[in-house]
Structure 1
Amino acid sequence: MQNPEWLKLIKVFSFDLGDTLFEYLGNTQTSYDRENQILLESMEKHGYHIADIPKFLDIYQKTIKSNYLALLKEGKDTKYMYVVLRKVFQIMGWTVPNVPTLVDIIRPANLHRFSTSNFKPFHYLHSLLELLQKNGRKMILISNIPESSGPGEPKFADEILKRNHIFDFFSYIILSGELEISKPNPAIFNQALHLTGVKPSQIVHIGDSYEMDVVGAASIGMRTIWLTNGHELKKNPITRTPDLEFPSINEFYEFLNLSD
């Protein structure tokens, strides 16, 4: 398969982070269990003894799943964990503490969720970035991830990229935690256009989330590549079809390498 003509005209490759450049290991049951344990320990430390732990954890996980995308669309991804915890308190019928206390309670679990150890680079990641750099393409990152775990602490994305020796490949790193704007909000993609100075048709955004990456980027005219990770797109008249699809970044690299 040869490169489509539009791909040859791309000047900027924009990447999501988790499950795009890196396999996110935080989605495993082991990681969920550890996060739950950390949360329970933090609740106990702040004076909240939970009599029915299974009920509390069930409500906590269901509240995350049912609220995450809506909070992202509102630009609240950096705050969604304490917003979720507040909802859990309300569902449990408990008195809701103030925001600083909620943040303190959830912070250790959030640190675990975004630990650099939860991000494993895909096999061909470094080779892909080298290939794009060799061909004169500019690379940027657009990620729904907090700026840092707390005031004065390192940025999550910077730490992950530096740890894997790819930080210098990226001209710009655009984080929802810095802008308080989250994918799929078009504003975060417009920021990429502003920084790079290219037209929407000259940038392709690559990500694993159909809703956040494909729909969000396509809404301002960017080209899109969807890394399906085994998911299938249910096409209907109102969907935005990605320009290309690959199972993962590894197959995208092989496609570029063979057609280069």
Structure 2
Amino acid sequence: MLRLRLLTWDVKDTLLRLRQPVGQSYAAEARAHGLQAQPEALAQAFWEAYEAQSRLFPNYGRGRGLSSQQWWVDVVKQTFRLSGVHEEGVVTLMAENLYHDFCSARNWEVLPGASETLSRCCQHGFCMGVVSNFDNRLENILTQCSLRHHFDFILTSEDAGFAKPDRRIFEKALHLAGVAPEQAAHVGDDYTRDYRAARAVGMHGFLLQAAGQGEELEVPPEHILPTLSHLLALIEKG
């Protein structure tokens, strides 16, 4: 059995997922203002805007004079502009509405098995923390989705000043918990940002992935979680 004291968790697509694709949420907001925009076009525009903004102002513009709210509002405004919506007053209003909408359980749902697994891990006495490339809305989102009480700390990339796979965000989590790397494991769905990054600082890693997904990755089978419900059995076997 692995002698673990700390479990850290990714959030998006590990514990929570969007209730509907981004393009559909944005199209619904446009319809509420009497505008027509196609979900597929909005989805493509969103990723273009998000990636351009991330290159220009990494980690929500932290240290570059932007608040994460301003960072996101700019992404959403650019998404609508790229989709052909140019009424600036309406675009700004929609962007601010969507920023606040994505802070609530209305847009997020808990993944199957997440609540039960977190409860069981707490019952086992693990220190529990979140390590996520998220902005400062995360605490409120976790509270709204009834998951916040499972965690001793929430560490976002905006708070930490470093985004995964930067080793410093994991080192900060270890410091917060007062735990050595070999006594900690990180659970996430991204090979590079979660599994490999945690292992690089000496932590254990568990990669959540569906059967047949990413089989070319060099991950031992005992580190792969087909579902979150498999976690405790793998820790006990380790």
Does the CA-based 8 Å contact 1:13-1:139 persist in structure 2? yes
Q: Which amino acid aligns with 2:208?
A: L
Q: Please report how far the alpha carbon of residue 187 of structure 1 lies from its aligned counterpart in structure 2 after TM superposition.
A: 2.0
Distance 1:257 1:241 in 2: 14
Q: Which amino acid aligns with 1:32?
A: G
| Structure 1 residues 111 and 36: CA distance shift in structure 2, 3 A | farther
Q: 1:37 aligns with which of 19, 28, 33?
A: 28
Q: For structure 1, which runs of at least 5 residues remain unmatched after alignment?
A: 45-49, 149-155
1:235 corresponds in structure 2 to 216
Q: 1:132 aligns with which of 121, 124, 127?
A: 121
Distance 2:55 2:96 in 1: 18
Does the CA-based 8 Å contact 1:204-1:225 persist in structure 2? yes
2:12 corresponds in structure 1 to 18
* TM-score, length-scaled by structure 1: 0.67
Residues 176-224 of structure 1 show CA distances to partners (whole Å, capped at 9, x for unaligned) of: 2333432222221111011011111111000112232123322322211
Q: 2:181 aligns with which of 200, 205, 209?
A: 200
Distance 1:188 1:72 in 2: 21
Q: Please report how far the alpha carbon of residue 230 of structure 1 lies from its aligned counterpart in structure 2 after TM superposition.
A: 4.9
Distance 2:116 2:83 in 1: 50
2:45 corresponds in structure 1 to 60
Distance 1:58 1:121 in 2: 22
Alignment pair present for 1:250 and 2:229: yes
SS at match of 1:17: coil
Identity of aligned residues (%): 19
Q: 2:132 aligns with which of 126, 136, 143?
A: 143
1:55-134 → structure 2 map (5 Å cutoff):
57=42, 60-64=45-49, 66-67=51-52, 71=55, 74-76=58-60, 78=68, 81-82=72-73, 84-85=75-76, 106-134=95-123
SS at match of 1:116: coil
Q: Please report how far the alpha carbon of residue 10 of structure 1 lies from its aligned counterpart in structure 2 after TM superposition.
A: 1.3
Q: Which amino acid aligns with 2:178?
A: G
Number of residue-to-residue matches in the alignment: 228
* TM-score, length-scaled by structure 2: 0.72
Does the CA-based 8 Å contact 1:206-1:226 persist in structure 2? yes
Residues 103-132 of structure 1 show CA distances to partners (whole Å, capped at 9, x for unaligned) of: 765232233334223333344334323332
Where does structure 1 differ by over 4 angstroms across 4 or more consecutive aligned residues? 39-42, 52-56, 64-68, 70-73, 85-95, 101-105, 239-243, 256-260
Q: Which amino acid aligns with 1:76?
A: Y
Residues 153-178 of structure 1 show CA distances to partners (whole Å, capped at 9, x for unaligned) of: xxx424533652x4333111112233
Distance 1:196 1:72 in 2: 33
Does the CA-based 8 Å contact 1:218-1:240 persist in structure 2? no
1:153 corresponds in structure 2 to none
2:158 corresponds in structure 1 to 177
2:64 corresponds in structure 1 to none
Does the CA-based 8 Å contact 2:133-2:157 persist in structure 1? yes
Alignment pair present for 1:223 and 2:204: yes
| Structure 1 residues 192 and 215: CA distance shift in structure 2, 3 A | same
Does the CA-based 8 Å contact 1:125-1:249 persist in structure 2? yes
| Structure 1 residues 35 and 87: CA distance shift in structure 2, 3 A | closer
